[in-house]
Structure 1
Amino acid sequence: MSTGRPLRTRERVIVGLGIAFALLVTLGGGLGLAAEGFEGRTALREGPVGTLAPTDRQCGKESCDWIGTFTSTDGTVTARDIELRDEIKVRRDDPMPGAIDGVRLAEDAGTAYTSDYGWRAPVAKGAALGVVGLAVATGLGLMLRRRRGTGESL
C-alpha cells in the first residue's frame, strides 16, 4: 500500500453520499422486486380466479405485457386496466388473444397472474440486489474509515 493524504471533508461527504445512494438504489430496487414476487405468490394462492380479456399491450425493451379487463369466474369481481404477468414472452407483433382463462387477480387490483408465473425469480433477484448493495456500501464505508484513520490509500 502506498501512503496518501487523508480524505478532505468534501471527499468524505461525497463518499458518504455514494454509500447512501448505493443503499437506497439497491435496497429499494431489491425490495421492489421481492415485493412483486411475493404479491404474485399471494395472488396465485388467494386471488379470485377469472378471465382477462386483453384490450392493449404495454411494451418494454424486451417484451410486452397484456393489459385488459378482468372478470372473475363467478362474475362478482370486474376490474379494468389490469396488467397480466406470466412466463410467456409477448412480442410487439403477436396477435391479441380473445381471452386468457385461469388468471388470478392480485389484492391491489392492478395486476393479474397466470398459473405459470414464476414468483421465485423476482424474490431471488431482489435478495441478490440487496446483498450487492450492502456489500458495495460496506466496501465504501471501510475505504472511508481506512483513509480517515491511517492516511493510507487503497
Structure 2
Amino acid sequence: MKRWVDEWMMFALCVLYLGVSVVVVPFAISAARNEGTFGTFTAVEKDCGRDGCDWTGTFVSDDGSIRMDDASFDSEELDEPGDQARAQKVAGDNSLYSRGSKGWILFVAGDVFCLGYVGWRIRKTWLRRRVVAEEPAA
C-alpha cells in the first residue's frame, strides 16, 4: 500500500512541477536572452534559508520607469548591505534575473525527469488494466 501511495504522490508532484514550469520557464528563457528591463539592484538585507541566501533590496531600472522597493535577488556580486549589482526584470514576472541567466536549465532538467516519470506511470497503469481486462473470467 505504501509503495502505491509513494508512486502516486510522485506522479502528483511531477504534474504540479510541470504546471509551474509552464508558467516560469518562459520568463526564465526571456531572461537568458536578456529581453528584460535592465537596472541596478541595491542590497539591503540578506535572507538565508535551507536553499541558500537571497538579498532583499531595491531595484531601479536604468530609465527610472520601474522601481521595486522590496525586490529579491540572488547574485554573487553582493556581499554586504549597500552593494549593487546589475539585474533585469522580465515583463509579467516580479523576479529579478542576472544578465544571461541560466535558471531555465534547472527547470528543463526537472521537466524532462517529470515527463519521463509521468509517461512511465501512465504506461504502467494502462498495461496493468489491459492485462486485467484480457484475463479470462473464472
2:24 is the alignment partner of 1:36: yes
Stretches of structure 1 that go unaligned for 5 or more consecutive residues are 1-14, 89-93
Matched letter for residue 88 of structure 2 = R
Matched letter for residue 126 of structure 2 = G
Matched letter for residue 45 of structure 2 = D
Larger relative contact order (CA 8 Å, sep ≥ 6): 1
Matched letter for residue 131 of structure 1 = G
Determine the structure 2 residue equivalent to 1:10: none
Determine the structure 2 residue equivalent to 1:71: 60
Stretches of structure 2 that go unaligned for 5 or more consecutive residues are none
2:98 is the alignment partner of 1:114: yes
CA distance in 1, matches of 2:62, 2:134: 66
Matched letter for residue 56 of structure 1 = E
Question: Percentage identity across aligned positions?
Answer: 20
- Shift of residue 145 of structure 1? 3.0
Matched letter for residue 124 of structure 1 = A
Matched letter for residue 149 of structure 1 = E
118, 125, 132: which is aligned to 1:147?
132
The normalised TM-score by structure 2 is 0.71
The normalised TM-score by structure 1 is 0.65
Matched letter for residue 92 of structure 2 = D
Q: Which has the greater radius of gyration?
A: 1
Q: CA RMSD in A?
A: 3.1
Shift of the 97–142 alpha-carbon distance from structure 1 to 2, 3 Å rule, reads: farther
